[in-house]
Amino acid sequence: MSEPTEDAWQRVDRYFADTLVGHDPALQAAVAAQHAAGLPAIEVAPVNGKLLHLLARMSGARRVLEIGTLGAYSTIWLARSLPADGRVVTIEAEPHNAAVARANLDRAGVGERVDIIVGRAAEVLPTLAGQDPFDLVFIDADKESNTIYLDWAARLGRPGTVVVVDNVGRGGRVADADTTEPQVLGTRAGLQMLADDPRFDATAIQTLDAKGWDGVAIALVV
Ligand code: DHB
Ligand code: MG
């Protein structure tokens, strides 16, 4: 049991998820509806959804920005972390995804706490300037644009804002310095920005869960 064979790590992930996350009808219904609507099964793993939820609670977040809604699986986790007057603003480029997300959020009972903005995030984000700052930003959209999204996370946040970037491991391909894969290039550019841009302090951890081998970056706006 000392090597992380696929069998072994899947067993550990199921054990963690069964023990600490549990099975939630609204979240399971959201995944089922997303699947039935033909959306890809690329929502975060249950243990990762709960990580987002806990990070939001640990940081006392009241205003959360999500870039990339998909079917709102992570959005439900985030919305549930907020006080009654809290707000999630989530941006989704595909109107079909946004419709699935809206139904899932309403079914989960958190719909009134969530604004879905349909549009390309790079165009939507500038329109959010001038509001109260966001306390947590979750970046989970087209990886090619991660540096744009990080820039807006810093601009729309404040010192103390928590920024989480999904999918930074990409099955290990992130460590390939010679890659030409646009999504990996975007991911690497985002990680380099987290290292170089004085507005951030960050780390990244690999994840091995229901979604395979990937990773999350966690940053603080300083
Ligand atoms: C992809 C995107 C995601 O956000 C994710 O969690 C997994 C995969 C993708 O585009 O392949
Ligand atoms: Mg993702």
Residue 56 C-beta-side C-alpha neighbours within 13 Å: 29
What Å distances lie between residue 203 and 56, 68, 111, 120, 153, CA to CA? 17, 21, 32, 27, 16
Q: How far is the CA of 43 from the centre of ligand 2 (A)?
A: 6
For residue 167 and ligand 1, the question of a CB distance below 6 A is answered with yes
3-state secondary structure of 130: coil
- Whether the pLDDT of residue 18 is over 70: the answer is yes
* pLDDT one-digit tens code per residue, 52-105: 999 999 999 999 999 999 999 999 999 999 999 999 999 999 999 999 999 999
For residue 210 and ligand 1, the question of a CB distance below 6 A is answered with no
Q: How far apart are CA 182 and CA 208, in angstroms?
A: 23
Q: How far is the CA of 142 from the centre of ligand 2 (A)?
A: 9
* pLDDT one-digit tens code per residue, 147-201: 999 999 999 999 999 999 999 999 999 999 999 999 999 999 999 999 999 999 9
Q: How far apart are CA 50 and CA 109, in angstroms?
A: 17
Tell me what pLDDT residue 3 has: 83
3-state secondary structure 60-105: CCCEEEEECCCCCHHHHHHHCCCCCCCEEEEEECCHHHHHHHHHHH
Tell me what pLDDT residue 155 has: 98
- Give the predicted TM-score (pTM) of the model: 0.98
Output the six-digit token pair for 145. Answer: 């644009």
For residue 166 and ligand 1, the question of a CB distance below 6 A is answered with yes
Q: How far is the CA of 183 from the centre of ligand 1 (A)?
A: 9
Q: Looking at ligand 1, which atom is closest to the CA of residue 68?
A: 4
pLDDT band at 1 (very low <50, low <70, confident <90, very high): low
pLDDT band at 39 (very low <50, low <70, confident <90, very high): very high
Q: How far is the CA of 103 from the centre of ligand 2 (A)?
A: 20
Tell me what pLDDT residue 2 has: 76
Output the six-digit token pair for 14. Answer: 């199921």
